[in-house]
Amino acid sequence: MSHDPGVSARSKKEMRKEMLPAVYEALNPRGAMPVVNVTPSAPGLSDLKDKVVYVINIGKPYAEGLLGAIADLMSARFPGANVLHVMKKTAYYNDEPELWNEVKQRADAVIIGPKD
Amino acid sequence: MGIPTVAIVTAPFVKAAQNVAEGIEGMAVRNVVVEHPVTQTGAVATEKAQGIIDGLVAALSATPVDGKEWPVVDVTKKSPRIAVRGTLNEVQDTFQKACWTDGLPVMPPTEESLEEMLTGTRHKPDEVIGFMPLQLWPATVEKVAINGIMAGCRPGHLPVLLAGIEAYTKEKDFLSSLASASSFAFVHVVNGPIAQEIGMNSGMNALGPGNVSNASIGRAFRLCVINLGGVTPGMNDMSSQGNPAKYSLAFAENEAASPPGWQPYHVEMAHAPDESVITVFHAWGYRSCPVRLGTPGELKVLVKEIESLWAADELGILVLVDPSPARTLRTVGMTTKEHFREWLYKEARQTIEYWKGTPVWQYRVKPEVLDGIWPREYLELPPDATIPMFSNSKQIRIVVLGGGTGNGVTVWNTSYSPSSASIDKWR
């Protein structure tokens, strides 16, 4: 800001205006999530008798202790159910369509993990 | 599939599980949370299982609420074209609160700057390059340009960005590494004439700060990962410690200073020398060591550094050789990159005990033996026998980089295969 007494008050006002912060219209950088057709979750089972329950390890061998214990506890609690403990043959980041086809055909309920 | 399913989720990953469920059609949203980690065995594992068995059974038998279906989550999200109108500080606050940045201030992307940026390509703004991991949202030319502006890129950088995003979208294995609890990052290497056209650094301090092209291009890729891949730390980027290379890591190979016989990386990959190409390498940790005289002692240090990187189980390494040691290596018989590659393959070794003891033995390395990637006879060798670190020499990728004043060889541990794309296509 000029202190020259020769600079008029009007030009000082104009100078102040020029010094106001600029205003930006910033564009949205986000990608657009595509529309997802949400399917409601399958209804629960009132009884596991005569049902096939898969306990699936998604491909993390270190979790076999926990998942094996879960399968054992399920078998003990529901002796009428067929509890199958399965570990994916491939790593957790690989798909395994043949397993999912088997599950689709045989399973009545699934416990799957771990998400970690 | 129409089958009641409950997922076992450890506590730090609950948000990630919900994020995944929102984005996938029909994904069950029944989660039972358990304390992290889940590595217990024996009686301790049984006790942990007993702690959640009631919750698992309840989730599987959950009845509809008030006669309605299990709650449906509307995941359609709208994305307005203008994110915010405001001062520079207000733009920064908005973008940072929304987790749209890397934590550093960004250049506000405006219609004017976008129009200018798009002069860097003849491709249309709404053209979809591919589906960006992690969330597999469509990445358009315009959105890449916007993120490039934020990073400080100029129009001349845009073809590099577009090609890089194409490379990201082509490699499905990047999806896993973006979400991993391990601390992965990406290295972006540019070959061909465009490097000089846009002033990229391939020489002194190329891995460090100071060059606008290197810094802004590398940064733009991370912003694209965040904003076009929908990656958010703690939500679906579960990297426990993070990686400083995530801020920015892009450079050009020093083709001009490469010794005779050492072909540029893209030429080794069967591209024409005058073609401009970008290669995205998945990366983890790195080592640096001196190679000044090329003596057996120095080379032994280099080999030991490679052996310490846990390189083989992660599918390879990227070796950055300063032009000075590259010339030195040539004098001790490594007249081509292939010679150096084969030598490293032969020299870097591991014991059978180490090989079988790796955390990825069960779900990666052992299946690779069954698939013939590793010789089956290795399984019969005694624990103290040694075998190569790598299943094949092609996992050793070599790039010349540096100012020629030092003696550094820097080795990055890389996972998965690198992904390349032509930059010229996007001019």
For residue B70, pLDDT over 70 is answered with: no
Q: Is residue A58 domain-resident?
A: yes
pLDDT score for B71: 46
In a domain, A1, yes or no: no
Taking the C-alpha atoms of residue A45 and residue A52, their distance in angstroms, rounded to an integer, is 11
Structure tokens at B214: 């290197």
Provide CB contacts within 8 A for B185, sequence distance 6+. B243, B244, B245, B246, B249, B283, B284
Q: Averaged over B45-74, what is the pLDDT?
A: 72
The mean pLDDT of B1-13, rounded to a whole number, is 85
Q: How many CB pairs under 8 A join A and B?
A: 252
Q: How far is B233 from chain A (nearest CA, A)?
A: 14
* Segment B103-152, tens digit of pLDDT: 999 999 999 999 999 999 999 999 999 999 988 889 999 999 999 999 99
The average pLDDT across B29-54 equals 88
Nearest-by-Cβ selection for A29 from B10, B135, B146: B146
Q: How far apart are CA B172 and CA B417, in angstroms?
A: 10
In a domain, A107, yes or no: yes
> Which residues, including other chains, have CB under 8 Å from residue B411's CB and lie 6 or more apart?
B286, B287, B288, B289, B302, B305, B306, B309, B311, B317, B318, B319, B320
Q: Do B290 and B298 touch, CB atoms closer than 8 A?
A: yes
Domain assignment of residue A26, yes or no: no
CB B10 within 8 A of CB A67: no
Whether residue A97 lies inside any domain: the answer is: yes
| Res B88: pLDDT | 96
Contacts of B175 (CB under 8 A, 6+ apart): A93, B133, B134, B136
Residue A32 or B322, more confident: B322
CB-based contact A40 B367, cutoff 8 Å: no
- Identity of the residue in A40, A107, A114 whose CB atom sits nearest the CB atom of B3: A107
Average pLDDT over chain A reads: 85
Question: Could you tell me if residue A31 is inside a domain?
Answer: no
Interval B360-399: pLDDT, tens: 787 778 888 888 889 999 999 999 999 999 989 999 999 9
Distance (Å, rounded) from C-alpha B223 to C-alpha B215? 12
pLDDT over 60 at B72, yes or no: no
Q: Say how far apart CA B159 and CA B336 lie, in whole Å.
A: 31
pLDDT: is B391 or B213 the higher one?
B213
Contact (CB<8Å) A31/B4: no
Residue of B nearest to A104 (CA): B1
Does residue A60 lie in a domain region?
Answer: yes
Comparing C-alpha atoms, which of B52, B42, B37 is closest to residue A65? Answer: B42
pTM above 0.95, yes or no: no
- Give Cα separations from B427 to B252, B302, B368, B383, B408 (angstroms): 18, 39, 40, 54, 34
CA dist A70 and B46 (Å) reads: 7
Q: Determine whether the interchain pair A30/B228 forms a contact, defined as Cβ–Cβ distance below 8 Å.
A: yes
At residue B76, the pLDDT reads 46
Is the pLDDT higher at A2 or at B241? B241
- pLDDT of B200 over the 90 cut: yes
Pairwise CB contact (< 8 Å): A112 & B5:
yes
In sequence order, which residues have a C-beta less than 8 Å from that of residue B326 and are 6 or more positions away?
B258, B259, B262, B400
How many Å apart are CA B412 and CA B318, to the nearest integer? 5
Give pLDDT, residue B29: 64
Mean pLDDT of chain B: 89
Prior bond of B37 cis (ω within 30°): yes
Q: What is the pLDDT of residue B423?
A: 98
- Which one of B24, B57, B132 has the shortest CB-CB distance to A31? B132
User: Tell me: the pLDDT tens digits for B139-156?
Assistant: 999 999 999 999 999 999
Using the predicted structure, report yes or no on whether residue A2 has a pLDDT greater than 60.
no
| Residue that wins the pLDDT comparison between B248 and B366 | B248
Instruction: Kindly state whether B178 is in contact with chain A, defined as any CB-CB distance less than 8 angstroms.
Output: no
* pLDDT value, residue B64: 45
Count Cβ neighbours within 10 Å for each residue of B334-373 and write b for 16 or more, e otherwise.
bebbbbbbebbbebbbbebebbbebebbbbbbbbebeeee
Domain that holds residue A57: 52-113
DSSP code, position A96: -
Task: Answer yes or no: do B5 and A66 touch at CB < 8 A.
Answer: no
Minimal-distance CA residue of chain A relative to B182: A116
Of the spans A46-50, B215-219, B243-247, which averages the highest pLDDT? Answer: B215-219
What is the reported pLDDT for A5? 56
Cβ within 8 Å, pair B8-A113: yes
Nearest to B83 among A27, A53, A72 (CB): A27
Q: Look at residue B11 in the predicted model and tell me its pLDDT.
A: 83
B12-29 per-position pLDDT tens digit: 888 777 776 665 544 446
Task: Say yes or no to pLDDT of B271 above 90.
Answer: yes
Give percent of chain B above pLDDT 70.
92
- Record: contact A46-B63, CB cut-off 8 A: yes
